[in-house]
Structure 1
Amino acid sequence: MSWQAYVDSHLIATGQVAEAAIIGLQGGVWATSKNFTLSTEEQKAIVDGFTNPDQIQASGVRLAGQKYFTLSVVGRTIQAKKAADGAVIVKTKQAILVAVYRAPVQAPEATPIVEKLADYLITAGY
């Protein structure tokens, strides 16, 4: 399956995720939903957020030019919020899944979808 199919079929198609991307831990966007562009600086900040959680908690995270406040960094998952919308960012062995949800969807609806895909990718070696 292509990386784009994971974004389209496993995240966007659920109706719980509005925008999504898969980025590599070593850099680069592997797949993204339409009109969701993560700059090189945004990608780096996301990757660095897992090695330096204090920084991302203090400054928040930017996704496609929009600033989100970091609510938590726990293990492999970063939770962020922007007004009624939010983001779930989950790290696998080689990649990071970035998913944005829009109200009325809330974190308890979107998070399990992103984490389930992350679990699958981890078992597949990614």
Structure 2
Amino acid sequence: MSWQSYVDDQLLATGKISKAAILGKAGGVWAASSGYNAEQDFVTKTAFGAPDSVQGSGITLNGFKFMTLRADADQVLGRKGERGVVIIPTTQAILVGEYDGTPAGDANVVVAKLADYLKSVGY
């Protein structure tokens, strides 16, 4: 399966995630929703490299700023109104899933399920 298939079939097709990306921890965007630009440097260096700064300044992705709800080595969560973001690292990648109008828990389960699978196969 291609990386784009994971974004399209495992995240977007659920109807719970509106925009998504899979970023390589070593760099590069492996796959993303059409027109979606999850800022590589922010996600890899700031969200997981300096979670305290994200806690205070918020999460800005694709030009939209979310209030940080959680920022630690396992997960970064943000929300503003009906929109939210779930960011979860795996062994080699970082999954980014934005949602709009979906309950936060439902969106989190979708992204976490894919993250758990990728970890189980070494990614």
- Aligned-partner Cα distance in 2 for 1:114–1:18: 12
* TM-score, with structure 1 as normaliser: 0.92
| Aligned-partner residue type, residue 12 of structure 2 | I
- Aligned-partner Cα distance in 2 for 1:89–1:26: 16
Q: State the shift of 1:82 in Å.
A: 1.9
- Aligned-partner Cα distance in 2 for 1:78–1:120: 18
Q: State the shift of 1:63 in Å.
A: 1.2
Q: State the shift of 1:26 in Å.
A: 1.2
Q: Which residues in structure 2 correspond to 1:75-94 (within 5 Å)?
A: 75-94=73-92
- Aligned-partner Cα distance in 2 for 1:69–1:43: 19
Q: Which runs of 5+ in 2 are unaligned?
A: none
Identical residues among aligned pairs (%): 46
- Aligned-partner Cα distance in 2 for 1:7–1:117: 10
Structure 2 residue 52 is the aligned partner of structure 1 residue 54: yes
Q: Which residue is 1:24 aligned to?
A: 24
The answer to whether the 8 Å contact 2:48/2:72 transfers is: no
Q: Which residue is 1:44 aligned to?
A: 41
Q: How many correspondences in the alignment?
A: 122
Q: State the shift of 1:61 in Å.
A: 1.4
- Aligned-partner Cα distance in 2 for 1:70–1:21: 19
- Aligned-partner Cα distance in 1 for 2:70–2:111: 16
| Aligned-partner residue type, residue 122 of structure 2 | G
Structure 2 residue 66 is the aligned partner of structure 1 residue 68: yes
The answer to whether the 8 Å contact 1:12/1:19 transfers is: yes
- Aligned-partner Cα distance in 1 for 2:91–2:54: 20
* TM-score, with structure 2 as normaliser: 0.94
- Aligned-partner Cα distance in 2 for 1:106–1:28: 30
Single out whichever of 64-73 and 87-96 deviates more from structure 2.
Answer: 64-73
Q: Which residues in structure 2 correspond to 1:91-110 (within 5 Å)?
A: 91-103=89-101, 105-110=102-107
CA RMSD of aligned residues (A): 1.0
